[in-house]
């Protein structure tokens, strides 16, 4: 477990400096550098692929070492534009080492996508304390720490994009994935706004995407009947695709989205309309 002091150093190591007047634009020699957590599969892998397709150099972070190597290799077998990083987002020293590796390899990330998460289905009456703590450490503290490790360089550079992956469960108190999962995703909505306020004056935007029922490996356990019932309950009439979430995340990570910050974008087939 990281100590309080350890956590504090992550936040205060990097005192604010004035951003440059003209933030650097990406060029062929200096493309954007993106870091995507939970990138071995599912939505994270789709986001990594989409950012890579836009010309970014992409660091793929996941606790699944073999999986993330495979996904990075699929993007670029030469390894020049896709870098696999094995780390658990609940392990702050490992995150610090991973960000340092990206910085040495290319430069500090311009774009961070906080996507890694886990769920442990349980009812609010019987969720265990250790499970609660684990889910919070991965899903919520991981976002806090990785953002604190990456955002100062974005702020100093005067350009940055942070995209946090939350969930409809965090907006509506969904029970399916566990109360700790939903509470952690609700926490991300608040962290998104706090970081957005902190960084808005420095060319760094922080937004969230809130998907629901996206066809990733977490859905593999569903039978055909369950899948059909789920689809019927969604106004659009089908499950979402990881590439659809990736397209939204890539927009939020683009130059075009510079006036969007502190926002949450629903991507749920119409399941929740504000």
Ligand X SMILES: NC(=O)c1ccc[n+]([C@@H]2O[C@H](COP(=O)([O-])OP(=O)(O)OC[C@H]3O[C@@H](n4cnc5c(N)ncnc54)[C@H](O)[C@@H]3O)[C@@H](O)[C@H]2O)c1
For the CA atoms of 108, 91, 121, 244, the dihedral, rounded to the nearest 10 degrees, stands at: 10
Nearer to ligand X by C-beta: 30 or 238? 238
Minimum gap (Å) between residue 174 Cβ and ligand X: 9
Least CB distance to ligand X at residue 186 (A)? 12
Smallest gap from Cβ 135 to ligand X, in A, equals 10
DSSP state letter for 24: P
Is there a contact between 14 and 152 (Cβ–Cβ < 8 Å)? Answer: yes
CB of 162 to ligand X, least distance (A): 14
Binding site for ligand X (CB under 6 A): 37-38, 40-44, 62-64, 67, 88-90, 115-118, 138, 165, 167, 211-214, 216-218
Which one from 106, 159, 181, 265 is the annotated catalytic residue? 181
Please, what sign has the CA dihedral across residues 18, 24, 29, 35?
positive
Residue 134 half-sphere exposure toward CB, CA atoms < 13 A: 11
How many other CB atoms sit within 10 Å of the CB of residue 258? 13
Residue 162 in contact with residue 262, Cβ under 8 Å? Answer: no
Of 92 and 157, which has the nearer Cβ to ligand X?
92
Q: Which is nearer to ligand X, 156 or 266 (CB)?
A: 266
Do residues 62 and 44 make contact, with C-beta atoms less than 8 angstroms apart? yes
For this structure, is 181 an active site residue? yes
What's the start-to-end Cα distance of the chain, in Å? Answer: 39
Residue nearest to ligand X (CB): 42
Nearer residue to ligand X within complex by CB, 31 or 234: 234
Which residues are tagged catalytic? 181
């Amino acid at each position: 477990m990281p100590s309080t002091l350890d956590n504090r150093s992550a936040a205060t190591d990097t005192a604010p400096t004035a951003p440059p007047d003209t933030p650097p634009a990406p060029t062929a020699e200096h493309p954007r550098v993106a870091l995507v957590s939970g990138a071995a599969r599912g939505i994270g892998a789709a986001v990594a692929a989409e950012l890579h397709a836009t010309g970014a150099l992409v660091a793929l972070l996941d606790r699944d070492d073999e999986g993330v190597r495979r996904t990075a290799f699929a993007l670029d077998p030469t390894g020049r534009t896709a870098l696999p990083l094995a780390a658990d987002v609940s392990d702050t020293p490992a995150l610090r080492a991973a960000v340092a590796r990206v910085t040495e390899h290319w430069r500090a990330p311009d774009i961070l996508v906080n996507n890694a998460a886990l769920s442990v289905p349980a009812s609010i009456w019987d969720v265990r304390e250790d499970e609660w703590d684990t889910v919070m450490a991965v899903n919520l503290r991981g976002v806090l720490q990785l953002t604190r490790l990456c955002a100062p360089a974005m702020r100093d550079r005067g350009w940055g994009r942070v995209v946090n992956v939350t969930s409809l469960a965090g907006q509506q108190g969904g029970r399916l994935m566990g109360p700790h999962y939903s509470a952690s995703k609700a926490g991300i909505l608040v962290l998104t706004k706090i970081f957005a306020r902190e960084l808005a004056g420095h060319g760094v935007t922080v937004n969230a995407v809130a998907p629901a029922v996206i066809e990733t490996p977490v859905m593999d356990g569903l039978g055909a009947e369950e899948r059909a019932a789920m689809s019927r309950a969604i106004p659009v009439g089908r499950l979402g695709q990881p590439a659809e979430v990736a397209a939204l995340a890539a927009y939020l990570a683009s130059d075009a989205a510079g006036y969007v910050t502190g926002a949450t974008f629903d991507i749920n087939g119409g399941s929740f309309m504000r």
